[in-house]
Amino acid sequence: MYITEASIDSFSSLYQISAVEVGQHFYWEIGDLRVHGQVLITSWVVIGILLAVAFLGTRKLETVPNATQNFVEYVLQFIRDLARTQIGEEEYRDWVPFVGTLFLFIFVCNWSGALFPWKLIELPHGELAAPTNDINTTVALALLTSGAYFYAGLHKRGLSYFGKYLQPTPVLLPINILEDFTKPLSLSFRLFGNILADELVVAVLVSLVPLVVPIPMMFLGLFTSGIQALIFATLAAAYIGESMEGHH
């Protein structure tokens, strides 16, 4: 029985695919507390990028804006329009910072995973990746969103906010309560699943065909990453607007 060279190449490719690992983490032990070091590292890189762009775009405001200021103003106007559409003309201004922070942080996190070669930086355990590639990050963002729309509803409507659970009939009370648990679950798993799947697909294609084929997938990943950030921010704003309006 002979083993051809093609067979050896096939087994080698399969071995490379099997070497793509999921769930490897780099931890910091701080007393009894275990912290995901890789998430903190990449998150602060993203925060640094956002702070740098904000500083450069606003340090010297001019009547005739330069390219950086023009870009920052365009992004701000886009976020304002998003918040106004989902929350409403009267209430949206107070929520522009929150919705904008969510959108920009998720957007830059997602793009960092598609553009920045995190895997070139070696860690003792695990590997660097986009912060939104970790379920802890997406769950935290979803819980912040849940807290925001509960606060918005209680601040606007007081204790009458809880009357929404009895609408349109008290029979739906369990379903209405369950809905508030499914919202953060769907937000977190949708974002996490899409970003993780995109990075895994690119990693597998790079292992199989390292030159040409992964490039279109990387561009597709940039597009889907932006869409996922927009979806998350849009749903967050919609939930906030819904809680203040008092209807589903």
pLDDT tens digits, one per residue of 181-233: 888 888 998 898 888 887 777 667 766 766 666 677 677 778 888 899 999 99
Q: Residues 155, 68: contact at Cβ < 8 Å?
A: no
Report, in angstroms and rounded to the nearest whole number, the Rg of the chain calculated over CA atoms: 22
The reply to whether 11 falls in a domain is no
Based on the structure, what is the number of domains in the chain?
A: 1
Q: Is the peptide bond before 184 cis (omega within 30 degrees of 0)?
A: no
The reply to whether 149 falls in a domain is yes
DSSP states along 187-234? HHHHHHHHHHHHHHHHHHHHHH--SSTHHHHHHHHHHHHHHHHHHHHH
Q: Residues 109, 199: contact at Cβ < 8 Å?
A: no
How many residues appear in the chain?
248
The pLDDT value given to residue 2: 43
How far is 246 from 156, CA to CA, in rounded Å?
Answer: 10
The reply to whether 136 falls in a domain is yes
The pLDDT value given to residue 105: 95
The reply to whether 61 falls in a domain is yes
> What is the span of the domain harbouring residue 105?
23-245
Q: Which residues contact 185 (CB under 8 A, 6 or more apart)?
A: 142
- Residues 104-108, mean pLDDT to the nearest whole number: 94
The reply to whether 10 falls in a domain is no
- Residue 74 vs residue 38, higher pLDDT: 74
Q: Residues 191, 132: contact at Cβ < 8 Å?
A: yes
pLDDT-derived band at 112, boundaries 50, 70, 90: confident
Query: Which among 191, 89, 67, 181 has a CA at the least distance from the CA of 130?
Result: 191
How far is 169 from 79, CA to CA, in rounded Å?
Answer: 36
- Residues 119-130, mean pLDDT to the nearest whole number: 70
Structure tokens at 238: 């919609």
Residue 15 has pLDDT above 50, yes or no: no
The reply to whether 74 falls in a domain is yes
The pLDDT value given to residue 225: 86
The reply to whether 12 falls in a domain is no
pTM for the model:
0.81
The pLDDT value given to residue 120: 63
The reply to whether 2 falls in a domain is no
